[in-house]
Amino acid sequence: MKDVKSQMLYSSYLRQDVKSQMLYSSYLRQEKPETIERYRRHTKDAQTNNKSIEQNMQHLKHEAATMMKKIEHLEVSKRRLLGEGLGTCSLEELQQIEEQLERSVSSIRARKAQVFKEQIEQLKEKCGIQPQQGSNEPREIIPYEESSPSSDVETELFIGPPEGRTKRSRLQN
């Protein structure tokens, strides 16, 4: 009885297995072209992406090389402006460096004058003095008048230790 039951279970299992295989093969027949097409699209997209990634990498490498050249050029310019490595410069290059330094100094002086002017205005406001707005007229210069007439003072030049001077002045009195 046990054998009969086992055989029945086994045959039932085989029937289910055959059914599932038939369903699966039917599914494959229907889905196979779509699956293959999806695979082809995916590989085509991947190849396109690989090409664009490769192009992007080449562009980035070129850009990095260009940036390195610019950095090197800026470092050389900086050293020259600091007065280093001028031995290899031509007369024209030295004149260009001088002109650039003169423009820089002029700009620095203008900024410095502006900062000083702003500080003076702030100090005037702080002290209660009204700042002169837009008045660039020269102020009238009032001569200094002394309250007493000037007098000439005679001084005697004495070279030597201080004691000698005091003794001498006592002797003269």
In a domain, 96, yes or no: yes
Phi, psi angles (nearest 5°) of residue 155: -125, 145
- Residue 123 maps to a domain: yes
- The whole-number pLDDT of residue 105 equals 95
122 is a domain residue: yes
Residue at 35 is within a domain: no
37-41, 85-89, 123-127: least confidently modelled range: 37-41
Q: Into how many domains does the chain fold? A: 1
Report the C-alpha gap between 13 and 40 in whole angstroms: 38
Distance CA 77, CA 73 (A): 6
**Higher per-residue confidence, 77 vs 153:** 77
Q: What does the mean pLDDT of the chain come to?
A: 77
In angstroms, the CA 136 to CA 142 distance is 18
